[in-house]
Amino acid sequence: MTLISSTPLLVEARKEGYGVAAFNVHTLEMLQAVAEAAEESRSPLILQTTVGTVKHLGIDYIVGAAKAAAKRASVPIALHLDHCQDFDLILKCMHAGYTSVMIDQSMHPFERNVEMTKKVVEVARALNVNVEAELGKVGGVEDDIHVDEDAAALADPEECQRFVELTGVTTLAPAIGTAHGIYKGEPKIDFDRIQQIAARVDVPLVLHGGSGIPGDHVKRCVSLGMAKMNVATEIKNAFSLALQRSFAERPDELDPRSYMAGAKEIVKALAIEKMTLCGCTNKA
């Protein structure tokens, strides 16, 4: 298959009451691991990269590898650009083959967020690319975006409705109490707010900060309309810790294929775990 827009995957997920897991990948092995997890568990998949990873690997390498994964797969795969504030980079990624993008203007006033999102939606429509936008402010650290806990703000349901109507955005990430990174305590998810937003907004909702949310909370979010769950920190840490363990246990091992293979298996198992939690296994 070829890379497809994430819109149909997420519309179907919201309609059927499951979530599609979206994984931030930083290396070829991480990308392969989540693609193999999707194939094995018959799950639709969203591969994601942050702007930092675009700078690290290059758009062409990322699109090339994602296209190769899609070609091998019998399950649908989309390629998404996570948290991008830069309109020109969004254009570049869309034209290079990304099938989904996030325009993140959540740090700006509502009107500016609307205006920028609308601009992206106009271009994306012509290219059949999904657009995700954020309302409220998700706290924590994602790449070079830092949002202090005090500055984090939950999305207003009425504003969410107006935002979707004004922009025509195809997926919405409302801040509902989750945060980026690993939680110190249990996240304070505002389930009522998800329900209120879902009642006013038809488009699939996106759960950011999916790392470390207790399983029953994930399931509840998904059942309320969160059709996409982002997992970044947890698989990044699992991959790195597996490498560190390998270096510690086998300091004489100098073949990268050997230690990468172990780390890949760990990421793959974790990805299947997250897909199972979202309920998207056997949905492809």
Angle between helices 157-167 and 191-200 (to 10 degrees): 40
**Which candidate, 207, 205, 203, 204, places its Cα nearest to that of 230?**
207
228 scored as a contact of Zn ion (CB under 5 A): no
CB of 230 to Zn ion, least distance (A): 5
Segment interacting with Zn ion, rule: CB under 5 A, options 105-113, 200-208, 218-226, 245-253: 200-208
Listed ranges 89-97, 109-117, 208-216, 219-227: which one lies at the site for Zn ion (CB under 5 A): 208-216
The residue nearest Zn ion at its CB is 208
Per-position b or e across 1-23, b if 16+ CB within 10 A of its CB: eebbbbbebbbbbbeeebbbbbb
Q: Is 177 left (phi over 0), alpha (psi -120 to 50) or beta?
A: left
Of the candidates 82, 1, 74, 85, the residue with the CA atom closest to the CA atom of residue 40: 74
Residue list 156-185, contact with Zn ion (CB under 5 A): none
- Least Å from the CB of residue 257 to Zn ion: 32
Decide if 82 is catalytic.
Answer: yes
Closer to Zn ion at the Cβ: 138 or 263?
138
Residue 283 interacting with Zn ion (CB under 5 A): no
Query: How far apart are alpha carbons 284 and 43 in whole angstroms?
Result: 5
Options 82, 88, 202, 216, the catalytic residue:
82
Closest distance between Zn ion and the C-beta of residue 49, in Å?
12
- The region of 35-43, 154-162, 191-199, 206-214 touching Zn ion under the rule CB under 5 A is 206-214
Report d(CA 204, CA 157) in Å as an integer.
Answer: 14
Nearer to Zn ion, 40 or 143 (CB): 143
Distances (CA, A) of 94 to 33, 54, 72, 153, 221: 24, 13, 22, 29, 29
Residues 6+ apart with CB under 8 A from 128: 5, 99
Query: Is residue 208 a contact point for Zn ion (CB under 5 A)?
Result: yes
**Segment interacting with Zn ion, rule: CB under 5 A, options 33-41, 48-56, 203-211, 252-260:** 203-211
- Taking the least distance from each CB to Zn ion, the nearer of 146 and 250 is 146
Least Cβ distance, residue 102 to Zn ion (angstroms): 8
List, by residue number, the catalytic residues. 82
Binding residues vs Zn ion (CB under 5 A): 208
